[in-house]
Amino acid sequence: MRTQTLLNGLAGGRSATLILLLLTIAAIGILEALPCTAADVDDTVASAEGSLVLGTTAKPDDAARVRVSDAYGRLPLSFETNRGQTDSEVKFLARGTQHTLFLSSTEAVLVFRKPEEPEAGERRDPKAKLAKPGTATRTVVSVAYLGANPMARVAGLDELPGKINYFIGSDPAKWRVNVPTYAKVQYQDLYPGIDLVYYGNRQQLEYDFVLRPGADPRRITLSFQGADKLEVDTQGDLVLHTAAGTIRHRKPVIYQDVDGLRRDIAGGYVLREARTVGFGVGTYDLSRPLIIDPVLFYSTYLGGSGDDEGLAIAVDTVGNTYVTGRTNSTNFPTTAGAFQTTSGALFNAFVTKLDPTGSALLYSSYLGGSGSDEGRGLAVDTVGNTYVTGRTSSTDFPTTTGAFQAAPGGVGSAFVTKLDSTGSALLYSTYLGGSGIDEGFGIAVDTVGNAYVTGVIGSTDFPTTTGAFQSTLGGFSDAFVAKLNPTAAGPASLVYSTYLGGSGNDEGRGLAVDAGGNAYVTGRTSSTDFPTTTGAFQTTAGGLGDAFVTKLDPTGSALLYSTYLGGSGADESFAIVVDPGGNAYVTGFASSTNFPTTTGAFQSALGGFADAFVTKLNSLGSGLVYSTYLGGSEQDQGRGLAVDPGGNAYVTGFTASTNFPTTTGAFQTAFGGFFDAFVTKLDPLGSALVYSTYLGGSGSDVGFSIAVDAFPNANAYVTGLTDSTNFPTTTGVFQSASGGSSDVFVAKMADVVLPQAPTTGKVNGGGSINVAGGRGTFAFIAQRQETTDPVKGQLQYVNHVSGAKVHSLAITSLVITSNMATLTGTCTVDTAPCTFTVDVTDNGEPGTTDSFVISVVPGSTEGGTIRSGNIKIHDIKTHE
């Protein structure tokens, strides 16, 4: 582009005093020389399936970035086609209130003005909106792609509904009307096998170089004009010195996800000439992606015409999803033969089981009496029985004959209910409480069917057992931990039950159990004398309220460790998970500026009023493996937590921050409404986001609970509440539209890149099949945008007899004929290379006669009519 010609043709508009431009490989942030540090930009690597993407993200804990975002304008999220409104070499342009970005075939040019400060003693009119002529300095920064294809096709992607009209001057021939705008601009094959994509992310501009297998990242060469000097410092950071200030870009972090584990790849910036930057990447596996972007495998509303909330979720070994919560809808969706098909009160609990595609209810039941009832915690055992706890004020809550406690003790009690695998019968159901107000919040089940429950109690006569760690109420309210045997029948069924608290207010919110029967509890405490143990990480209260983490022995009689977790503000924990090594992971929110974090954590400083946090404690409870804030400049809370076998932590909650940290290529990178849910996957070191996305519409959306499945690459399942009528849903799900003032949502998020809708073909499914001597389980999704486009998706299969685990590397073909489909591709079976062919049949709902057959080479052919699950085939244009 002829930069000077372009500048000469510009009308003198306003231009930004600050531009933060996030680029792939070399990010540009142009700052005024103001009393704040330059906004650092962290480089990460993202990828599509089978592709390498070089991308950048800004750290949310960067104080300068927060100040900058608050103080100055941001780049727009749309790109307008050049229809003659600017220089003919420009393909697309993006305008802000004080800047303009021009994209040509071979370079990007950013033009902005820096208003001059008034002289000493001179007063500036606070009502003035425009700088006077001659009172602003124009600055231009350009990035040219050296050695690039000058004939690369430059196209707008994802056309937006807005149009641009130019009615300038009196000559209609010079007017430009209905100029289209786009969310993205793509340069196809800018370098051999390398595409360049511009897009908006949290009202900032980013672009990615997407490298297909075999492409050489060393071909990418960026030439910067407008920077006086470029250097790579001793830390590997790229530093740009400009007239507008100094910009620092941290050393790129490059890694691959291999079987759920992060594998670092050497690489960094390479200065080739004075103002030219390249990118060096060390040896990596060309057959694997480097970070995988999340997509919605399915997403569905679940609700009636009233208020409905999903508060807890679990997933079984074949991908069926179980949800509990509360509803006051008299028409909440239930299924024939379910235990309770009609509402009994203002609010009832509910329990719903969805199939692996999110398209059908396997069962759905109310659970409650004539009072108010809520399901707050849920667990599933190995045979599909569901365990639920919560609170009830109903005197006629359904209990079973011989239950531990057949009648409530006071105005409100906890309850513990076990439903069979069909949702049609109660295996047991019992109250659990004293004469005060008691509530259950968290539940877990061990391998033999014992149920462990935690919550909050205000009763002085809550049922406890002989030898329990604490047999009396310590303050106004205490946490409790109780263990029920598999029958929950009679007094002896309470294996143990103990108070847990000090002289203040204490609540148990989340609970996990390990293979040895040790219970791990987390929640909140305002007690300065909450019971802690010698050598625990934090033995004294930190501030207005703290989280706590406590490990009880299998008898409930002793604390193996117990620790506060908090700073000088108010901090609270909601969920806990334990890994096979006995490390405990907790999430919640922190308002303390000194909440304990660790060196190298993803976010070491509080970003707003309150941030979510994720903390991993060692098996002794004596130290932090890692601890990080997670949030933007407003309020953020972590409410649900899960961990996969590789040690990646999955977090959900809600955020009011428009700058909550998301990752390049995330499903939803922009804030949608008043509150949004979020889903974040944190790497095993707690130092980087594998992916992070908003999940919400234009209203209020909250994620309350998250679970992960047992497939080779874990998928995340999330539930919560939404009052958005445009919450993102997917084709073919059970309920695609809002039912009432608020609904439950249930979403499955897969680590795979899919083409954007509309699509010409889509197949997805999950479930189990018969194999010799037992069963196999499968989950897959595949779709294409046009019939000639590559197929994107993922296949996972596990033979539970042999232990063989098949995971697709690429899906090479998808053929759909009526209700049948065939997928082929490359794969690994227990890390060894293979190829696969999958034949599926969709025989309609509820999926009981669908079929799945997989052939693996080298290997065997397995499958037939599915034992459980569902398969969905869509062979039409779908708009998700």
Q: How do residues 766-811 score in pLDDT, each as one tens digit?
A: 888 999 988 888 888 888 877 777 888 888 898 888 888 888 888 8
Query: Highest mean pLDDT: which of 152-156, 290-294, 516-520?
Result: 516-520
pLDDT > 90 in the chain, percent = 47
Q: What is the per-residue pLDDT for 198? A: 79
CB 834 within 8 A of CB 807: no
User: Mean pLDDT across the stretch 613-618?
Assistant: 98
Which candidate, 30, 159, 35, 23, places its Cα nearest to that of 92?
159
Q: Which residues pair with 565 in a beta bridge?
A: 547
Q: Which has more confidence, 168 or 745?
A: 745
pLDDT of residue 533 exceeding 90: yes
Where residue 126 falls among pLDDT bands split at 50, 70, 90? very low
Q: What DSSP line would sit under 427-456, residue for residue?
A: EEEEEE--SSBEEEEEEEE-TT--EEEEEE
Q: Which has more confidence, 216 or 734?
A: 734
Exposure b/e, 586-604, CB count within 10 A at least 16 = b: bbbbbbbeebbbbeebbbe
Per the prediction, the chain carries an average pLDDT of 81
Where residue 493 falls among pLDDT bands split at 50, 70, 90? very high
- Cα 543 versus chain centre, distance: 30
Q: What is the per-residue pLDDT for 661? A: 93
Which candidate, 777, 622, 624, 757, places its Cα nearest to that of 715?
777
Helical (H) or strand (E) element with 484? strand 478-484
Can you tell me the distance from the alpha carbon of 482 to that of 223, in angstroms, rounded to the nearest whole number?
65
pLDDT of residue 829 exceeding 80: yes
Tokens of 412: 């409100």
pLDDT of residue 6 exceeding 60: no
Three-state secondary structure call for residue 21: strand
Q: What is the per-residue pLDDT for 74? A: 37
Q: What is the per-residue pLDDT for 222? A: 79
Phi and psi for 65 in degrees, rounded to 5?
-65, -40
DSSP 8-state symbol, 674: S
Each domain of the chain, given as residue ranges in start order, spans 3-118+126-281, 378-722, 761-874
Q: What is the per-residue pLDDT for 705? A: 98
Query: Order of strands across the sheet with 438-445?
Result: 438-445, 451-457, 478-484, 494-500
pLDDT of residue 870 exceeding 80: yes
Question: What are the Cα distances from residue 646, in Å, to 585, 649, 682?
Answer: 13, 9, 11
Q: What is the per-residue pLDDT for 73? A: 33
Q: What is the per-residue pLDDT for 108? A: 85
Q: What angle do CA 734, 767, 857 make, to 5 degrees?
A: 135
CB 204 within 8 A of CB 22: yes
CB 415 within 8 A of CB 429: yes
Q: Which has more confidence, 244 or 121?
A: 244
pLDDT > 70 in the chain, percent = 78
Lowest mean pLDDT among 151-165, 317-331, 334-348, 796-810: 151-165
Q: What is the per-residue pLDDT for 551? A: 98
Q: What is the per-residue pLDDT for 246? A: 55
Can you tell me the distance from the alpha carbon of 115 to that of 110, in angstroms, rounded to the nearest whole number?
16
Tokens of 80: 């307008």
Q: What is the per-residue pLDDT for 561? A: 98
pLDDT in tens, 616-636: 999 999 999 999 999 999 999
pLDDT of residue 139 exceeding 50: yes
Say what the alpha-carbon torsion angle 599, 605, 611, 617 is, to the nearest 10 degrees. Answer: 20
Lowest mean pLDDT among 79-88, 109-118, 267-276, 453-462: 109-118
User: Mean pLDDT across the stretch 481-498?
Assistant: 95
Can you tell me the distance from the alpha carbon of 303 to that of 333, in angstroms, rounded to the nearest whole number?
6
Which candidate, 624, 619, 566, places its Cα nearest to that of 595?
566
Q: Which has more confidence, 582 or 89?
A: 582
pLDDT of residue 725 exceeding 50: yes
Phi and psi for 8 in degrees, rounded to 5?
-65, -25
Three-state secondary structure call for residue 180: strand
- Cα 370 versus chain centre, distance: 37
User: Mean pLDDT across the stretch 214-223?
Assistant: 74
Q: Which has more confidence, 323 or 868?
A: 323
Architecture in CATH for domain 378-722: 7 Propeller (2.130)
Lowest mean pLDDT among 172-176, 396-400, 650-654, 819-823: 172-176
Q: How much of the chain is in helix, strand and coil states, percent to nearest 5?
A: 5, 50, 45
- Which residues, 6+ apart, have CB-to-CB distance to 572 below 8 Å? 509, 523, 524, 545, 547, 588, 589
Q: Which has more confidence, 585 or 245?
A: 585
User: Mean pLDDT across the stretch 256-277?
Assistant: 63
Query: How crowded is residue 835: how many other Cβ atoms within 10 Å of its Cβ?
Result: 17
User: Mean pLDDT across the stretch 641-656?
Assistant: 95
pLDDT of residue 714 exceeding 70: yes
Q: What is the model's pTM?
A: 0.67
Q: What DSSP line would sit under 45-90, residue for residue?
A: EEB-TT-EEEEEE--TT-HHHHHHHHHS----S-EEE-SSSS-TT-
Where residue 197 falls among pLDDT bands split at 50, 70, 90? confident
CB 549 within 8 A of CB 520: yes
Query: How crowded is residue 223: how many other Cβ atoms within 10 Å of its Cβ?
Result: 18
Q: Which has more confidence, 245 or 693?
A: 693
Q: What is the per-residue pLDDT for 265? A: 63
Phi and psi for 773 in degrees, rounded to 5?
85, 0
Q: Which has more confidence, 680 or 89?
A: 680
Which candidate, 290, 289, 287, places its Cα nearest to that of 264?
290
pLDDT of residue 593 exceeding 60: yes
Where residue 745 falls among pLDDT bands split at 50, 70, 90? very high
Q: What is the per-residue pLDDT for 66? A: 29
Phi and psi for 522 in degrees, rounded to 5?
-140, 160
Three-state secondary structure call for residue 841: strand
Helical (H) or strand (E) element with 452? strand 451-457
DSSP 8-state symbol, 488: -
Q: What is the per-residue pLDDT for 331? A: 95
Can you tell me the distance from the alpha carbon of 490 to that of 571, in angstroms, rounded to the nearest whole number?
39
